[in-house]
């Protein structure tokens, strides 16, 4: 439902269907549906937190107070705080066209530097073996075998898997960049079978009057027939059709991220792994194990899609230059490594 904030009688300040204006601007900028949902959610919370006053009547003091309450009362992380700030800045700059001389007064929260959770090769093998064979287990193997992010895997299209070149094209990854990752040889037959299942489902959907998938950015306008073509269908389609929140049309989206997240968590528990491993831990493990095997860090950077090699260098903490590769001074003491009596 669109929200029309109160204006307290301010002439010209009324902005009917403000959240619809936000959505329109976000789609014009080709932001993802997840960003759209997050930004509209934060803007709605900001307006309600300020007595439904129009954002044009608010400024740095209200923004600062809102972010402070998120931290002190909501106990949100620095990243969440910064996302809320980004949503409000988008509202003022892109939607309301308001100059922000007070912007410099609002300080972004400092994001803590955390080491990634990395599984050993033995732990990865245990995790995958503990997952029942099927779609989620296949996707988990693909995460570890390619280093893809969770959503990059879920958003794969049938045409993105190139068996001839033994590679997978990851399209519109983080930063809206395309890249290529290796296609694990051990998954070729299973992915080929998954392609056929996806295409069979697509043919069945066409008979039901559906079979048209969401296309990114302006492709739907540029290639109006592409949304119904087999190659554009999701490699991992959802079991159910659903309504696209952007167009209102019924179609088949990809598998929900929660499906794979829950499967990884359950597999971790069955495998007896005490590390708080998630889907992203398989990406971390992919990078770390490649570096351990002697692959060049620049190659790993390209495979991960990192803009800056400094981001990739965090994985060197498990190599000979990291803590795990050092011999502690305690262990250098005479008799320190002798077996206990």
Q: What is the CATH number of the domain that holds 46?
A: 1.10.150.130
Catalytic residue selected from 54, 149, 157, 284: 149
Task: Write the pLDDT tens digit of every residue in 202-213.
Answer: 999 888 888 788
Catalytic residue selected from 126, 180, 280, 317: 280
Per the CB < 8 A criterion, the answer to whether 251 and 214 are in contact is yes
* One domain for residues 172 and 248: yes
What's the farthest any 2 CA atoms get from each other in the chain? 85
Catalytic residue selected from 155, 254, 283, 284: 283
Task: Write the pLDDT tens digit of every residue in 145-171.
Answer: 999 999 999 999 999 999 999 999 998
What is the three-class DSSP state of 290?
helix
φ, ψ (nearest 5 deg) of residue 254: -85, 170
- The yes-or-no answer on residue 202 being catalytic is no
The pLDDT of residue 251 is above 70: yes
Whether residue 146 lies inside any domain: the answer is: no
Joined together, the tokens standing for residue 165 give 């070149």
Total number of domains in the chain: 2
Average pLDDT over residues 41-64: 88
Whether residue 324 lies inside any domain: the answer is: no
Whether residue 170 lies inside any domain: the answer is: yes
Nearest to 256 by CA among 267, 269, 245, 242: 242
The pLDDT of residue 137 is above 70: yes
CB atoms within 10 A of CB 21: 16
The pLDDT of residue 13 is above 50: no
- The yes-or-no answer on residue 270 being catalytic is no
Could you give the CA distance from residue 215 to residue 220 in angstroms, rounded to a whole number? 6
Query: pLDDT at position 70, please?
Result: 85
* One domain for residues 83 and 169: no
Per the CB < 8 A criterion, the answer to whether 284 and 117 are in contact is yes
- The yes-or-no answer on residue 275 being catalytic is no
Per the CB < 8 A criterion, the answer to whether 127 and 273 are in contact is yes
Could you give the CA distance from residue 267 to residue 119 in angstroms, rounded to a whole number? 13
Q: 239 is in which domain, residue-wise?
A: 156-253
Catalytic residue selected from 174, 190, 270, 317: 174
Query: pLDDT at position 336, please?
Result: 59
* One domain for residues 160 and 96: no
* One domain for residues 101 and 160: no
- Which CA distances in Å does 43 have to 69, 190, 235, 315? 15, 44, 34, 36
Chain length of the chain: 341
Whether residue 303 lies inside any domain: the answer is: no
Query: pLDDT at position 31, please?
Result: 82
Beta pairing partners, 168: 161, 181
Whether residue 41 lies inside any domain: the answer is: yes
Could you give the CA distance from residue 67 to residue 76 in angstroms, rounded to a whole number? 10
The pLDDT of residue 325 is above 70: no
* One domain for residues 89 and 170: no
At 58, the pLDDT band (50, 70, 90 cuts) reads confident
Whether residue 51 lies inside any domain: the answer is: yes
Whether residue 125 lies inside any domain: the answer is: no
Question: DSSP character for 57?
Answer: G
Beta pairing partners, 179: 170
Whether residue 49 lies inside any domain: the answer is: yes
- The yes-or-no answer on residue 149 being catalytic is yes
């Amino acid at each position: 439902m669109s929200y029309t904030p109160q204006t307290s009688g301010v002439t010209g300040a009324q902005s009917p269907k403000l959240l619809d204006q936000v959505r329109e601007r976000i789609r014009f900028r080709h932001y993802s549906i997840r960003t759209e949902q997050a930004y509209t959610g934060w803007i709605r919370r900001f307006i309600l937190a300020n007595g439904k006053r129009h954002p044009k009547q608010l400024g740095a003091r209200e923004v600062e107070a809102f972010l402070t309450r998120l931290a002190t009362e909501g106990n949100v992380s620095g990243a969440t705080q910064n996302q809320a700030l980004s949503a409000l800045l988008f509202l003022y700059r892109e939607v309301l066209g308001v100059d922000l001389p007070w912007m410099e007064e609002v300080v972004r929260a400092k994001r803590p530097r955390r080491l990634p959770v990395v599984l050993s090769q033995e732990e990865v093998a245990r995790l995958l073996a503990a997952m029942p064979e099927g779609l989620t287990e296949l996707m988990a193997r693909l995460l570890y075998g390619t280093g893809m992010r969770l959503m990059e895997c879920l958003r794969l299209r049938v045409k993105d898997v190139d068996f001839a070149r033994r590679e997978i094209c990851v399209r519109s990854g983080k930063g809206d960049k395309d890249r290529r990752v290796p296609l694990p040889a051990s998954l070729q037959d299973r992915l080929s079978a998954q392609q056929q299942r996806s295409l069979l489902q697509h043919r069945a959907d066409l008979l039901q009057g559906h079979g048209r998938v969401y296309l990114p950015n302006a492709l739907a306008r540029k290639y109006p027939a592409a949304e119904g073509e087999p190659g554009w269908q999701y490699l991992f389609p959802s079991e159910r059709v659903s309504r696209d929140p952007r167009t209102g049309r019924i179609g088949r989206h990809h598998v929900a991220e929660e499906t794979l997240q829950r499967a990884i968590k359950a597999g971790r528990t069955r495998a007896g792994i005490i590390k708080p491993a998630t889907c992203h831990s398989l990406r971390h493990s992919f990078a770390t194990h490649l570096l351990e095997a002697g692959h060049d860090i620049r190659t790993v950077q390209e495979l991960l899609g990192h803009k800056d090699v400094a981001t990739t260098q965090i994985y060197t903490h498990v190599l000979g230059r990291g803590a795990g590769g050092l011999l502690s001074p305690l262990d250098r003491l005479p008799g320190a490594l002798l077996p206990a009596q």
